[in-house]
Structure 1
Amino acid sequence: MLDQALCDRPVSQWLVLKSMLSNWLMTPIFVVLPLLILVFLPWMIPRLRWKRFWSGLGTVLLVIYFTATFPLTIAVAKKGLVAFIPPDPGTTVDAIVVLGRGEPFRHSRVKVAAELWKAHRAPLIFASGAGDGSEIVERLKAKGIPDAALGEEHCSRTTKENALFTSSVLQPRGIKQILLVTDPPHMLRSLLTFKGMGFEVISHTSSIPSELTSSRKAMLMFYEYMGLVSYGLRGEFLKQNLAQQKNPPIAKVKNSAKFNLQKQHSLF
């Protein structure tokens, strides 16, 4: 298991800002009203320069905001995110890694992970994510997955931390080949990040919850495109060396039946 201090650290300012931005964009009146002011206010100020520019900018942003939630726009954005994901060849691996994404996504992830395990694709399922890791494991137990085949970390708050903390737990135990389970928009960034951490990755997507609103789905696409750019510029997709990192998370080995790799090969 990971050092508990990793779970107890304060939330980063970036995650706070991201949450605030999401709440703002998901509340139409907070977006539409300022943009309408930008469209009409310049014409009410007689000496203001570049009236057409500011009014036109507001109009364009309004059009983008409303068309972003169209089903066709969402479908095209999703297609761009999944176009370069290799198909699952169906081979066996060392472990199935399930990434958390919040409560609405858990059902499909648990279902996919359980099906993969029962199909003998891997002897171990490892769940990763703050607020998700422990809950996913409990749901997998309810589906009949034995305790010895399950592991989790519940400290990671970003995709980079998913990969970093998972590698610090699994790689010292010789686990290199993984089946990665997450939703289609999130898969490309996750795949590249886990490969950067030294894993051999096979992707296997789980569905986006049907109850998500169009605005929520559009937000997922927006974050993933921004995440790809951000991670790419920061070099997160390049090969990482955990041993050379300044303060890497150290996986503490704990003798427990919950994560006994000596037992896992006897489960099939």
Structure 2
Amino acid sequence: MLELLRSVFGLYWPKLTWKLYYWFISPKKVTLTLLAIAVVALIVSRPRYRRRMMGACMALLVAYLFLLSPLFSAPATALLSSFVPADSGQPADAVVVLARAGRLQGDRYETALDMVATGRSPNLLIMGRSQGADVVKALDQRHLSPHLVSAVCVQTTKQEAESAAAALGAKGLQNIVLITDTPHMLRAWLTFRGLGFTVMPHVEPLPATVGYRERSLLAIREYLGLASYALLGRLQGQSPNTLSEVAKAVADDFPADRCFMTADQLRQVFMLS
């Protein structure tokens, strides 16, 4: 029963948090919702409770506006990054780049290509099909030819870590540079270490165009993610297995012919020249 609850929770929780993210990012929607609740409370509640209901709604609105302010976003993000060690700059078996949607991804792929160009690693693992195609195009433009693999069956940080184990762990590639943004790095670092990787985290700052409201909600989402991953046993020190054992355990979930694409396969699918 517990395992069933874990699987259901793990399946729907990421989708729920992103839906809440896009809803909470709109002050207009949240304010109108709270006003609607206040109006309903005034209509249906007893007179002696109306003041309390109105006070509660106003308190929620003030708390919401505070959470979306720079007074919260800056320290909340800084706290997340304070636990992550700095990138040592040492050579690695592979560079692993985690996915973000749209402009949230920043310059992470250019950073990864720079690492390849300077010889830090000959192996590049990209999360996402379209992201992999973009990286292949950039590699061709820069005349770089690392061994690239794109993981195309991933939606969550857990799946990204497990797919990395399937792609790299079976080959004995354990020492990685992990690239993702500031809010996400702590959870990603702990998750990858929990599977047995030796991780050098390379934090990619969020673009300047990402406002403090989005930064606040990304930080809140990560705090919720850390709590849920701890509850589900996905963080560092909670897995007794070695990376090779994890690679064997997840091999059936990430078959090579369906879940990984090489640079040549991406060129064929996306007709890249």
Aligning the two structures, in what range does the TM-score lie when normalised by the shorter sequence? 0.7 to 0.9
Query: What is the CA-CA distance between 1:114 and the residue it aligns to?
Result: 1.8
Change (3 A) 1:130 1:39: farther
Question: Contact 1:32–1:62 at 8 Å: present in 2 too?
Answer: yes
Structure-1 residue corresponding to 2:67: 68
Q: Which of 190, 193, 210 is equivalent to 1:192?
A: 190
Paired with 2:96 and 2:74, the residues of 1 have a C-alpha distance of 26
Q: Which of 208, 224, 227 is equivalent to 2:206?
A: 208
Contiguous gaps of at least 5 residues in structure 2: 1-10, 266-273
The percentage of counterpart residues that share the same residue type is 31
Q: Which of 177, 181, 184 is equivalent to 1:179?
A: 177
Structure-2 residue corresponding to 1:128: 127
Query: What is the CA-CA distance between 1:197 and the residue it aligns to?
Result: 1.6
Change (3 A) 1:133 1:230: farther
Change (3 A) 1:255 1:49: closer
Q: Aligned ranges for residues 102-181 of structure 1 at < 5 Å? A: 102-129=101-128, 131-146=130-145, 148-181=146-179
Q: Aligned ranges for residues 181-260 of structure 1 at < 5 Å? A: 181-237=179-235, 238-239=238-239, 241-242=245-246, 243-244=248-249, 248-252=253-257
Paired amino acid for 2:255: I
Paired with 2:88 and 2:251, the residues of 1 have a C-alpha distance of 37
Does residue 79 (structure 1) correspond to residue 78 (structure 2)? The answer is yes
Structure-2 residue corresponding to 1:7: none
Report the 3-state secondary structure (helix = DSSP H, G, I; strand = E; otherwise coil) of the residue aligned with 2:114: helix
- Normalised by the length of structure 1, the TM-score is 0.80
Report the 3-state secondary structure (helix = DSSP H, G, I; strand = E; otherwise coil) of the residue aligned with 1:132: helix
Paired with 1:178 and 1:191, the residues of 2 have a C-alpha distance of 11
Paired with 1:78 and 1:56, the residues of 2 have a C-alpha distance of 30
Paired amino acid for 1:168: A
Question: Contact 1:101–1:132 at 8 Å: present in 2 too?
Answer: no
Paired with 2:262 and 2:69, the residues of 1 have a C-alpha distance of 50
Paired with 1:46 and 1:167, the residues of 2 have a C-alpha distance of 55
Change (3 A) 1:209 1:45: same
Equivalences, count = 247
More displaced 10-residue stretch of structure 1: 90-99 or 53-62: 53-62
Question: Contact 2:21–2:217 at 8 Å: present in 1 too?
Answer: yes
Paired with 2:45 and 2:216, the residues of 1 have a C-alpha distance of 38
Question: Contact 2:129–2:152 at 8 Å: present in 1 too?
Answer: yes
Query: What is the CA-CA distance between 1:244 and the residue it aligns to?
Result: 4.3
Paired with 1:252 and 1:121, the residues of 2 have a C-alpha distance of 28
Paired amino acid for 1:82: S
Query: What is the CA-CA distance between 1:122 and the residue it aligns to?
Result: 1.5
Query: What is the CA-CA distance between 1:71 and the residue it aligns to?
Result: 2.1
Query: What is the CA-CA distance between 1:189 and the residue it aligns to?
Result: 0.4
Change (3 A) 1:79 1:19: closer
More displaced 10-residue stretch of structure 1: 48-57 or 169-178: 48-57
For the aligned residue pairs, the C-alpha RMSD in angstroms reads 2.8
Contiguous gaps of at least 5 residues in structure 1: 1-11, 260-268
Structure-2 residue corresponding to 1:9: none
Change (3 A) 1:77 1:141: farther
Paired with 2:56 and 2:263, the residues of 1 have a C-alpha distance of 60
Paired amino acid for 1:47: R
Report the 3-state secondary structure (helix = DSSP H, G, I; strand = E; otherwise coil) of the residue aligned with 1:201: strand
Change (3 A) 1:55 1:184: same
Query: What is the CA-CA distance between 1:162 and the residue it aligns to?
Result: 0.6
Change (3 A) 1:62 1:111: same
Question: Contact 2:152–2:261 at 8 Å: present in 1 too?
Answer: no
Query: What is the CA-CA distance between 1:255 and the residue it aligns to?
Result: 11
